[in-house]
Amino acid sequence: MSASLSKRLMLCAGLVAGGKTVCDVGTDHALLPVYLVENGVCERAYACDIADGPLKSAQKSIVASPCADRIRIIKSDGLDNVPPEGISDVVIAGMGGELIIDIVARAEWLKHGVNLVLQPNTREPELISWLYENGYEIICQRACEDGGFLYTAMRAVYTGSPRKPSDTERIVGALNPRDASAKKYIIKQASRLETAAKAMSESRNGEVLSRAEEIISRVKQLYRYIGEDYDNSITDL
């Protein structure tokens, strides 16, 4: 019986290019690598984690799978102990953006044609900026709602052509504004910026007020990106 995935993990599974070996970093119960191998997306899988507890849970899931002989458990801090040979995809999901950056930055072999599937729980703009500024391109990005939370996941590959993303691009990445979940995600990010600007607008400091105006300008850009008008009294700062 195929492993059952949450909407968040299905979002990640849909971005895996597949073919050879997938490496799931921070695998927890190994549900994703089991699913990918059982459904023929990848031939083999590595289920990696730094802690013994998650690896024990992963072992239970793998033993119960008819494809157990093609899924290997690796105890590793990020990708430090992972053999790169034959890996087509690396999934890093459910972590903060800063940790994902650290893991990717330490693995130079990811620059040699490996498909990255990244699902940050925090600091998404920082991760998106780092990818673009360090020669990675976001090929595809999607969003979903799961358990009352909005998530985004992206597929990135190394191109060797670094560039500085725009303010809007730092937040939306490669999200399709016509997708309902992506639009909802973008509006949520705009709302966070708006809240910050409102708090800053109460300051009497000129620099702070100027910064608030810059933030509102970004909010307007996000609404234009999704094809909507931004109408709020805070624009009269």
The CATH number assigned to the domain holding 96 equals 3.40.50.150
Element (H, E) at 51: none
Residues 154 and 230 in one domain: no
In a domain, 20, yes or no: yes
User: In this structure, are 78 and 43 located in the same domain?
Assistant: yes
Cα 147 to chain centroid, rounded: 17
In one letter, which amino acid is 212? A
Which of 143, 169, 195 terminates a domain? The answer is 169
The distance of Cα 216 from the centroid of its chain, to the nearest Å, equals 25
pLDDT value of residue 191: 92
Range of the domain at 190: 181-236
Whole-number percent of the chain with pLDDT over 90 = 83
Task: Select from 129, 144, 169 the last residue of a domain.
Answer: 169
Q: Which residues of the chain have pLDDT under 70?
A: 1-3, 232-237
Instruction: Note whether 190 and 136 are same-domain residues.
Output: no
Of 110, 141, 169, the one marking the end of a domain is: 169
pLDDT in tens, 102-113: 999 999 999 999
pLDDT digits (tens, 9 = 90+) for 145-189: 999 999 999 999 999 999 999 999 999 999 999 999 999 999 999
Residue 23's SS3 state is: strand
Question: Same domain, yes or no, for 132 and 48?
Answer: yes
- Distances from the Cα of 40 to the Cα of 20, 43, 108, 151, 158, angstroms: 10, 7, 28, 25, 25
Q: List the one residue out of 75, 108, 110, 70 whose CA is nearest residue 91.
A: 110
Give CA–CA dist 183/228, Å, rounded: 10
Query: What's the structural domain count of the chain?
Result: 2
Taking the model in full, what pTM does it have?
Answer: 0.92
**Six-digit token string for 43:** 């031939």
pLDDT for position 235: 44
Q: Looking at the structure, tell me whether residues 79 and 186 fall in a common domain.
A: no
Q: Helices (H) and strands (E) in the chain — how many of each?
A: 8, 7
